[in-house]
Structure 1
Amino acid sequence: MPRPPKVHAKAQTQDRAAYRLTCWVMGSLVSVAVVFAASEIHAQDDITVSHGFNEYGDLKYSADFAHLEYVNPDAPKGGEISVSADGSFDSMNPFATLSGTPGALSSIMYERMMDTTDDEVGAYYCLLCTTLEYPADQAWVIFNLRDDVTFSDGTPMTAADVIFTHEAFREQGTPSFRAGITQLVTGWEAVDDYTVKFTFNPDSPRRGRVSQMANAIVMSKAWFDETGARLDESRLQTAPGTGPYMLGNVDPGRQIIYQRNPDYWGQDLPLMRGRANFDTIRVEYFADSSAAFEAFKAGEFTFRRESSSINWATSYDFPAIRNGWVVQDTLEDGTPPAASGFVFNTRREKFQDRNVRLALGLMFNFEWTNENLQYGLFRQRTSFWETDRLRATGLPEGRELEMLETVRDQLPEDIFTQDALLPHTSGDRPLDRANLRRALDLMAQAGYTPDADGRLRDENGRTLDIEFLETRQAFDRVITPYIENLQRLGVNVTYTRVDPSQYQARTQSNDFDMLFGAYSAGLQEGTGLNQRYGCEDRDDVFNPAGFCSAAVDALAEFVTNASDYDEMAAAVQAIDRVMRYEYFMVPTWYLGQNWVAYFDMFEYPENLPEFGLGHLDYWWFNQDKYDALIAAGALR
């Protein structure tokens, strides 16, 4: 089925009364005919005109809301927040992911047609538009654009920019995006300077049509015409955006500074009140996370999201902590964590047998790893969607079972008769001998037996050779015990750690056996499922395992055609059950919280939303606290 890939960035939004419905169909005809046609449409009951859109229910915020509930509308503007990034970068074009390495936050300058919020699921609100219009079958969508939007160079945004950007992404976007958007959108037009219409392929899934175009980025046609730049080229020069931040200074591979646009067109919009509060956002690059941590302790940057359990448990006792200059905080996170684990490249023949994958997975000891290397701070991942709303549990029943029945002939009977596959348990020693025996039995079923030296060989005498690819030195302490267990099983394992640019090149070309990777997960799913798990996009960078299942492809249609959230959730649970059975990655751990440390000059709202941290969005700078830190010598 035609389906566009999911877009993973966010937008910012605003409301406005609808007044351009008269410009719908027949826009190229005389104005009298347009008015007549529009009046006919007003009479139809199935045309929705709204300030927002929700895939699965009502909108939380009305058209006249004053500000988002979770922001401080009186937050002061000013100051700087600085963060770190590992590795390097050689481009500031975030859309050329297959050419060069884009700088961190390089998409921050560009807004989308509509924005999501951090306290709702599935909701979008107009930002670059005032209202949107669509029929009940979502055969098309019209966006009535704001007439006061300007790019950072001061030029106005019009429908011509919307159409130009859409066409540019169709021609120069990533291959998976081009394929998806071409199949989804069959018509696009600028009805007038401030009205655009997109028509959808009637054979495409209804779910995700409007939301896909709500995520549409808008860029300056004039700038691209003048410079001759392309979306798919690596470059340091950036196109002007409509967002609250613009590029300030770039030191390639070392530092990026974004500065707040003092003339940002949307600064007084209700949706933007209490947001985009920092004057500058600085990104400092370091060779790895260890170097970055040392720099943070020295005050070279001011906000850190910690991901290392050993750091969190043992290393936050440096002078700035003891002096009260740095705050160490744990904040709740209600978003589903990424489905992380040791990924098998199933494109390789050696991983085609499920028994091999299960055997290799049994050699990972989560319990010992977590207690001895991660200070017991993590939880074991059980599902691709680590949330009660979407996780498969027990035996399939109800609507989930009905969906699975439609592909029963493509699934093993165990899917229907056994509980959803859970990660194995292990003992308190690095090598669990019971799991080793189970793994050897599974390998025997796959045709591998140990030779005199204990090395596994197939019926042709070939060893099982696996290269483990990684780029982060900090992961050595976790990966090495797993590799040692694999070697005890009889696998010929090599561990290759490469620099970030080599890692990117090899993963983009699927040139690896195993690596530590992750699949994104959301509280709602749609067409993006196909990009991550679909057979047609098996070689896409968003599907590192190269997973492909005809049953999952069929079940994904229930997701994209879901009439309500419960229907979507049942379909996701069915897919989760199948993918856990297929075991194309060894599930590892997740946190479910945000570990943050920052110099005590930042503040955040008391009522942080369930689905967002917002440190670059709705936190703010306290000048008095900053002055005190400077006086104390806490910052460089």
Structure 2
Amino acid sequence: MMRFGISVALVGALAAPAMAEVTISHGYSAFGELKYGPDFTHFDYANPEAPQGGTMSQRQLYGYGSFNSLNIFIIKGDSAPEVGHHVYDVLMERAYDEPDAVYGLIAETIEYPDDLSYVAFNLRPEARFHDGHPVTAQDVVFTINALKTEGHPYYRNFLADVLAVEAENDHRVRIDLAEGVGRAYPGEIANLAVLPEHFYEASPFDESWMHIPLGSGPYTVTAVDAPRMITFCRDLDYWAADLPVNAGKNNFDCFAYEYFADDTVGMEAFAAGEYLMRAEYTSSRWATGYDFPAAQQGWVQQVLVPDGRPTNAQGFWLNMRKPALQDIRVRQALEYAFNFEWTNETVFYDAYKRSDSFFENTDMQAEGLPEGDELAILEDYRDQLPEAVFTEPAHVPPVSRPIPRDRSALREAARLLDEAGWVVDDAGVRRNAAGEPLRLEFPDDSRGLEPVITPYVENLRSLGVDISFDLIDPAGMSERRQTYDFDISMSAWQVSVTPGATLRGFYGASAAAAEGSNNLTGLADPVVDALIERIAGVDSRAALVPAVKALDRVLRSKQIWVAGWHLGAHRLAMWDVFGRPEEPALYDFNRGVDFWWFDRPKYEALVEAGALTDRF
């Protein structure tokens, strides 16, 4: 298929049984045509006339945690995620108004045969790192090899299908791929950051460190005060400033991130104008907390930004590495003990909907009984799946009455625990036949969800579960997650619009065995692995949807989590000093801010009114 590219037939010295058609293109889309042709000047959601200047000062990304490392690619340390956001350029940049398209950044073009046995990237000769060194194909080779062997388990799992990587010359790199990788994989490879090999001669790749990282992106780290703040300012000699993928982007002179261990303090700082924008993760604060003088004056705005991506897979993840949680009846009991309906009404101001799917808010969510192509896929594994997968609707969480303690739900939880052999003793503690208590550890590093978790923990204690809920520091929480030292962990994963090989890192057996992976539950199941590989290998979105539905149905049948909640949008609070594109990208949020700009007249008016100080 021609995707605004050049199609050529590769012919060897001797006639081959069949010739592979090769596409060379300025962009890549897994399924379907590219929206933007080779001569495009900017993305539709960008404003190429946006003014430059000012500082985007905001709370840390993702709203929690701290940092003690600037090496974001490994498991060691607590790294600052903003580094990846600003410092490193990728081979090809995502278009956030298309589900899975990427366009040339470091790579001018991508090349691939129809069978996807390899993917090659032709690099722009002008690409430069911040120290002036050219970006070469050897840097790409170094990046992939380092991530595959010493990187975070996420990268190691994702890059398992890379068989070999070779620099064919300074500006061309070829990556040989395993059979059946699927059409999404080249785009995912293209979205990898490219790291400078020469930098790591003095900065070991597999160690955490706090010196300034070297990249080729639009910003460099200019100030660090760990764990309180990190600032990035524009590289005035940024090599790619005029490329179409960057038109209307990177408009701020600097990005400054303020870290707060206590978000109450963070909110007070925002209200006082110490920083200018925050994503709000607390529904009660969104509903009642923005009544300070600046908000009452209209100087601070609350904006709900729609998100067309799949909703976060958020919930209480149950660590099945622990013997007690290997029994599905115990996991089912933990689900009955969580009263979402009361929580939503009392704590969340009815802001959310209950999640039931790992691919919520998409057409990839399993519903009802399996049928059609989804059923045909599941039939291949019928002898390895419980009959209920075929005869009962896809699992949804039980609905509780919106009262503090729904006794009918708790009775069902108690029945399941009894059935699993955890019986209440004379002291009210559940014990197994060996006399061991049902003891669960639930650590967390944020007080933001304490009003949600505390009633849940109280319900479990009323059932005789010896559960401890401990608020610990972010560094301690990071360490416990890396070593899976917990029974329950609250977390959320952003799901791709086009799921593929990255699913291994969340649900694959190889990730379950790797320290520090995102497979918090320890799930290691051959059917799940097979379905993930099937998803990774599909050749059309029509084939992708039923395959993901099948995976969703199987995952839900295993009840590896107590499902959380979703909004389908992002709550942003900001001082009214920014300009924003009229039509934001459908499939973006975090990167969307990169297309905002500083509105100098609005800012000066607030300074003159005494609302802000002149420091941004």
* TM-score normalised by the chain length of structure 1: 0.91
Secondary structure at the residue paired with 2:503? helix
How many residues align? The count is 603
How far is 1:362 from its partner? 0.3
Q: State the distance in 2 between where 1:205 and 1:191 align.
A: 22
- Per the alignment, residue 64 of structure 1 pairs with 39
- Per the alignment, residue 82 of structure 2 pairs with 105
Residue 592 of structure 1 aligns with an amino acid whose one-letter code is: G
Conserved 8 A contact 2:5-2:24: no
Is it true that 1:597 corresponds to 2:577 in the alignment?
Answer: no
- 2:198 maps to which of 180, 202, 222: 222
Is it true that 1:574 corresponds to 2:550 in the alignment?
Answer: yes
- Per the alignment, residue 467 of structure 2 pairs with 493
Conserved 8 A contact 2:218-2:250: yes
Q: State the distance in 2 between where 1:265 and 1:113 align.
A: 14
Q: Relative to structure 1, is the Cα distance of residues 80 and 38 closer, same or farther in structure 2, using a 3 angstrom cutoff?
A: farther
How far is 1:512 from its partner? 0.6
Conserved 8 A contact 2:130-2:235: yes
Summarize the alignment of residues 412-561 of structure 1 with structure 2, pairs less than 5 Å apart. 412-540=386-514, 541-561=517-537
Conserved 8 A contact 2:310-2:497: yes
Q: State the distance in 1 between where 2:217 and 2:371 align.
A: 47
Deviations 1:506-563 (A, max 9, x none): 1110001112122331221111111210112114421111122221112222211212
Conserved 8 A contact 2:158-2:504: no
Q: State the distance in 2 between where 1:610 and 1:428 align.
A: 34
Summarize the alignment of residues 283-322 of structure 1 with structure 2, pairs less than 5 Å apart. 283-322=257-296
Conserved 8 A contact 1:165-1:221: yes
Q: State the distance in 2 between where 1:65 and 1:558 align.
A: 34
Conserved 8 A contact 1:379-1:590: yes
Q: State the distance in 2 between where 1:372 and 1:390 align.
A: 31
Q: State the distance in 1 between where 2:352 and 2:546 align.
A: 28
- Per the alignment, residue 51 of structure 2 pairs with 76
Is it true that 1:628 corresponds to 2:605 in the alignment?
Answer: yes
- Per the alignment, residue 161 of structure 2 pairs with 184
Conserved 8 A contact 1:529-1:556: yes
Residue 611 of structure 1 aligns with an amino acid whose one-letter code is: Y
How far is 1:584 from its partner? 1.0
- Per the alignment, residue 616 of structure 1 pairs with 593
- 2:381 maps to which of 381, 398, 407: 407
How far is 1:413 from its partner? 0.8
Secondary structure at the residue paired with 2:543? helix
Conserved 8 A contact 1:152-1:240: yes
Is it true that 1:324 corresponds to 2:324 in the alignment?
Answer: no
Q: Relative to structure 1, is the Cα distance of residues 167 and 459 closer, same or farther in structure 2, using a 3 angstrom cutoff?
A: closer
Q: Relative to structure 1, is the Cα distance of residues 264 and 66 closer, same or farther in structure 2, using a 3 angstrom cutoff?
A: same
Residue 345 of structure 1 aligns with an amino acid whose one-letter code is: N
- Per the alignment, residue 99 of structure 2 pairs with 121
Gaps of at least 5 residues in structure 2 are none
Gaps of at least 5 residues in structure 1 are 1-14, 25-35
Secondary structure at the residue paired with 1:311? helix
Q: State the distance in 1 between where 2:580 and 2:154 align.
A: 38
- Per the alignment, residue 152 of structure 1 pairs with 130
How far is 1:45 from its partner? 6.1
Secondary structure at the residue paired with 2:510? coil
Q: State the distance in 2 between where 1:213 and 1:618 align.
A: 24
Deviations 1:384-422 (A, max 9, x none): 111231100010000000011111111111111111111
Q: Relative to structure 1, is the Cα distance of residues 170 and 353 closer, same or farther in structure 2, using a 3 angstrom cutoff?
A: closer
Conserved 8 A contact 1:219-1:239: no
Summarize the alignment of residues 4-403 of structure 1 with structure 2, pairs less than 5 Å apart. 46-85=21-60, 86-96=64-74, 98-107=75-84, 108-175=86-153, 177-178=155-156, 181=159, 183-202=160-179, 205-225=181-201, 228-403=202-377
How far is 1:17 from its partner? 8.8
Conserved 8 A contact 2:93-2:245: no
Secondary structure at the residue paired with 1:106? helix
Q: Relative to structure 1, is the Cα distance of residues 331 and 520 closer, same or farther in structure 2, using a 3 angstrom cutoff?
A: closer
Secondary structure at the residue paired with 1:296? helix
How far is 1:458 from its partner? 2.0
Q: Relative to structure 1, is the Cα distance of residues 144 and 476 closer, same or farther in structure 2, using a 3 angstrom cutoff?
A: same
Q: State the distance in 1 between where 2:409 and 2:5 align.
A: 64
254-263 vs 149-158, which deviates more? 149-158
Conserved 8 A contact 1:170-1:177: yes
Secondary structure at the residue paired with 1:197? strand
Secondary structure at the residue paired with 2:531? helix
Residue 99 of structure 2 aligns with an amino acid whose one-letter code is: V
Q: State the distance in 2 between where 1:522 and 1:335 align.
A: 7
Q: State the distance in 2 between where 1:463 and 1:169 align.
A: 42
Conserved 8 A contact 1:16-1:130: no
Q: State the distance in 2 between where 1:309 and 1:333 align.
A: 17
Q: State the distance in 2 between where 1:379 and 1:352 align.
A: 28
Residue 97 of structure 2 aligns with an amino acid whose one-letter code is: D
Conserved 8 A contact 1:72-1:618: yes
* TM-score normalised by the chain length of structure 2: 0.93
Percent of pairs with identical residues: 39
Q: State the distance in 2 between where 1:424 and 1:16 align.
A: 49
Secondary structure at the residue paired with 2:608? helix
Q: State the distance in 1 between where 2:109 and 2:14 align.
A: 18
Q: State the distance in 2 between where 1:625 and 1:77 align.
A: 14
Conserved 8 A contact 1:79-1:280: yes
Residue 584 of structure 1 aligns with an amino acid whose one-letter code is: I
Q: Relative to structure 1, is the Cα distance of residues 87 and 343 closer, same or farther in structure 2, using a 3 angstrom cutoff?
A: closer
Q: Relative to structure 1, is the Cα distance of residues 329 and 179 closer, same or farther in structure 2, using a 3 angstrom cutoff?
A: closer
Residue 245 of structure 1 aligns with an amino acid whose one-letter code is: Y
Q: State the distance in 1 between where 2:400 and 2:103 align.
A: 47
Secondary structure at the residue paired with 2:302? strand
Is it true that 1:607 corresponds to 2:592 in the alignment?
Answer: no
Deviations 1:347-404 (A, max 9, x none): 0000111111101110100010010111111111121111231100010000000011
Residue 219 of structure 1 aligns with an amino acid whose one-letter code is: L
Q: State the distance in 1 between where 2:445 and 2:76 align.
A: 19
Q: What is the RMSD of the two structures over their aligned residues, measured on CA atoms?
A: 2.3
How far is 1:185 from its partner? 2.4
- Per the alignment, residue 31 of structure 1 pairs with none
How far is 1:213 from its partner? 2.6
- Per the alignment, residue 33 of structure 1 pairs with none
188-197 vs 358-367, which deviates more? 188-197
Conserved 8 A contact 2:230-2:257: yes
How far is 1:336 from its partner? 1.3
Secondary structure at the residue paired with 1:68? coil
Conserved 8 A contact 2:65-2:445: no
Q: Relative to structure 1, is the Cα distance of residues 37 and 633 closer, same or farther in structure 2, using a 3 angstrom cutoff?
A: farther
Q: Relative to structure 1, is the Cα distance of residues 326 and 152 closer, same or farther in structure 2, using a 3 angstrom cutoff?
A: same
Conserved 8 A contact 1:109-1:245: yes
Q: Relative to structure 1, is the Cα distance of residues 319 and 176 closer, same or farther in structure 2, using a 3 angstrom cutoff?
A: closer
Q: Relative to structure 1, is the Cα distance of residues 511 and 603 closer, same or farther in structure 2, using a 3 angstrom cutoff?
A: same
Q: State the distance in 2 between where 1:167 and 1:412 align.
A: 40
Residue 156 of structure 1 aligns with an amino acid whose one-letter code is: P
Residue 616 of structure 1 aligns with an amino acid whose one-letter code is: V
